[in-house]
C-alpha cells in the first residue's frame, strides 16, 4: 500500500538516503490521475524492495504543491538519496513513461 504523504512527513520520506521514492501527486477530481491509480498500485509489486511508492493528495496539500512547483496533475517526482531526479507530468502521461523514468533512476 502506497504511503500517504503530507506536509508533515514529505521531507522525511523523500529525503531518505539509499532510497528511491516515487511521489504520485493526484487529486480526486483529476480523471487522468484516477485512471493511472491501478497501474501505480501495480508498480508497488513490480518495484518492491527497490522503490518506495508514495501518494500526495494535492487538494489537502496546496501550499506544499506550490512550494514544490507542482502546477498540474498528474505529476510524478522521483527522488534518489533525497534529491529530485525526474519529474513527469501532464494528461498524456502513461505508466510506461513512469516505468522508464524509474528504470533510468535505478540504473544510475
Spans of all domains in the chain: 3-92
User: Above 90 in pLDDT, residue 62?
Assistant: yes
Dihedral sign from CA coordinates of 94, 100, 106, 108: negative
For cell 500517504, name the residue: 4
Mean of the pLDDT values across residues 40-63?
96
User: Above 90 in pLDDT, residue 1?
Assistant: no
Task: Name the grid cell of 54.
Answer: 508514495
Among the residues of the chain, which ranges form H helices?
10-14, 31-46, 62-67, 95-106
* Prediction pTM value: 0.96
Catalytic residue among 21, 30, 70, 78: 30
- State the average pLDDT for the chain: 96
Residue 65 annotated among the catalytic residues of the structure: no
Cis peptide before 28 (omega within 30 of 0): no
Catalytic residue among 33, 53, 98, 101: 33
For domain 3-92, the CATH class is: alpha beta
Amino acid at each position: 500500500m502506497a504511503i500517504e504523504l503530507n506536509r508533515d512527513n514529505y521531507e522525511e520520506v523523500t529525503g531518505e538516503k539509499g532510497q528511491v521514492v516515487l511521489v504520485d501527486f493526484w487529486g480526486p477530481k483529476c480523471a487522468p490521475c484516477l485512471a493511472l491509480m491501478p497501474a501505480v498500485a501495480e508498480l508497488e509489486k513490480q518495484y518492491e524492495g527497490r522503490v518506495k511508492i508514495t501518494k500526495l493528495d494535492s487538494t489537502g496539500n496546496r501550499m506544499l504543491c506550490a512550494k514544490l512547483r507542482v502546477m498540474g496533475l498528474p505529476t510524478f517526482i522521483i527522488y534518489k538519496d533525497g534529491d529530485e531526479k525526474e519529474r513527469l507530468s501532464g494528461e498524456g502521461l502513461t505508466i510506461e513513461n513512469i516505468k522508464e523514468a524509474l528504470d533510468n533512476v535505478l540504473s544510475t
